[in-house]
């Protein structure tokens, strides 16, 4: 049975320089969240290292690991010891030549409750993910845990209302987005703020449209492009949690690592959907064209 209110923690981090150091940082944050009574901890996208997709380098596939594997074993041990749910984010080696950007969910007994493979894969300057990741093939299926039914999505997924809606229709009680998104340092401050506000707004809109709380955990800090082709990325942090009407419950800044802790009342979904019955009024008889790429 899900706890309500649910105390959750988002671990906004900067890269610590090595897998071992990053996992130590994760563990310290998870233990701090446990001391503060959290039942659910959300880590950022690809938390074991830098955001390596700024460049295309075949040698970087060596960073991938199987699931289950070393990281899931460590997170599993922590989840079991501290009796909380952990959502992590890994570069998954599924088979030779087959890799995914995968979220893992460890339940309070240490079991691997489920995984989600990122469905929407970007390919933009500084975000060359199609080189590394095969699109997910598991669909949009929430994961049942002691903390509730979790609709886990990953980064670029957060811009697509179809993904959020699909999770809601499958019974998700909260939407969780491990994230790695930042600014091009050459962009003007006005452009940077437009991008940040768009990112926050679209996710708050998912909360409103589906009557669900949303939590987005982003990395923070500057990371250079190893190839030197681009000016690198300054990840904008700003991790946040909002309620089912889009109201901001807690938010970090864009400057520094942060353990963001807040409570979410999962029971509010029922009341909100009664007054804003979007699911009732959906015209499912008229949406067939949504499965097409475009209406020519």
With tokens 């996208």, the residue in question is: 45
Phi, psi of 24 (to 5 degrees): -60, -40
Instruction: Check 26, 118, 217, 223 and give the catalytic one.
Output: 118
Instruction: Check 26, 38, 53, 155 and give the catalytic one.
Output: 155
Q: Which residues pair with 214 in a beta bridge?
A: 175, 242
Spatial neighbors of 38 by CB under 8 A, at least 6 apart, are 7, 8, 9, 84, 261
Q: Would you call 191 a catalytic residue per the annotation?
A: no
As a 3-state breakdown, the chain gives helix, strand, coil percent values, each rounded to 5, of 35, 30, 40
Residues 206 and 165: their CA atoms lie apart, in Å, by 8
Q: Would you call 26 a catalytic residue per the annotation?
A: no
Under 8 Å between Cβ of 89 and 136:
no
Show the tokens assigned to 175: 């939407």
Residue 84, by phi and psi: left (phi above 0), alpha (psi -120 to 50) or beta?
beta
Instruction: Check 45, 92, 129, 223 and give the catalytic one.
Output: 45
What angle (nearest 5°) sits at the alpha carbon of residue 199, between those of residues 195 and 203? 165
Spatial neighbors of 45 by CB under 8 A, at least 6 apart, are 51, 89, 101, 154, 155, 178, 179, 180, 217, 218, 219
Q: Would you call 45 a catalytic residue per the annotation?
A: yes
Please tell me the number of Cα atoms within 13 Å of 148 on its side-chain side: 25
Under 8 Å between Cβ of 45 and 154:
yes
Q: Which residues are catalytic?
A: 45, 118, 155
């Amino acid at each position: 049975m899900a706890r309500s209110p649910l105390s959750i923690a988002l671990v906004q981090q900067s890269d610590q320089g090595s897998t071992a150091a990053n996992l130590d940082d994760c563990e310290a944050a998870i233990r701090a969240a446990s001391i503060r009574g959290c039942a659910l901890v959300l880590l950022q996208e690809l938390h074991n290292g830098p955001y390596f997709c700024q460049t295309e380098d075949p040698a970087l596939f060596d960073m991938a690991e199987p699931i289950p594997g070393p990281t899931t074993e460590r997170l599993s041990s922590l989840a079991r010891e501290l009796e909380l749910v952990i959502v992590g984010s890994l570069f998954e080696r599924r088979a030779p030549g087959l890799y995914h950007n995968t979220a893992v969910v460890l339940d309070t007994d240490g079991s691997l409750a489920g995984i989600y493979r990122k469905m929407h894969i970007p390919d933009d300057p500084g975000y060359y993910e199609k080189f590394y990741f095969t699109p997910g093939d598991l669909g949009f299926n929430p994961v049942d845990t002691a903390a509730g039914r979790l609709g886990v999505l990953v980064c670029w997924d957060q811009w697509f209302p179809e993904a959020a809606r699909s999770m809601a229709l499958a019974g998700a009680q909260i939407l969780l987005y491990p994230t790695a998104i930042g600014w091009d340092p050459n962009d003007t401050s006005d452009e940077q703020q437009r991008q940040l506000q768009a990112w926050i707004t679209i996710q708050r809109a998912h909360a409103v449209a589906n009557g669900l709380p949303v939590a987005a955990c982003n990395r923070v800090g500057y990371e250079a492009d190893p190839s030197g082709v681009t000016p690198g990325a300054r990840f904008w942090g700003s991790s946040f949690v909002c309620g089912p009407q889009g109201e901001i419950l807690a938010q970090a800044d864009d400057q520094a690592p942060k353990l963001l802790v807040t409570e979410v009342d999962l029971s509010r979904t029922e009341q909100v959907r009664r007054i804003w019955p979007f699911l009732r009024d959906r015209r499912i008889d008229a949406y067939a064209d949504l499965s097409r790429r475009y209406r020519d």
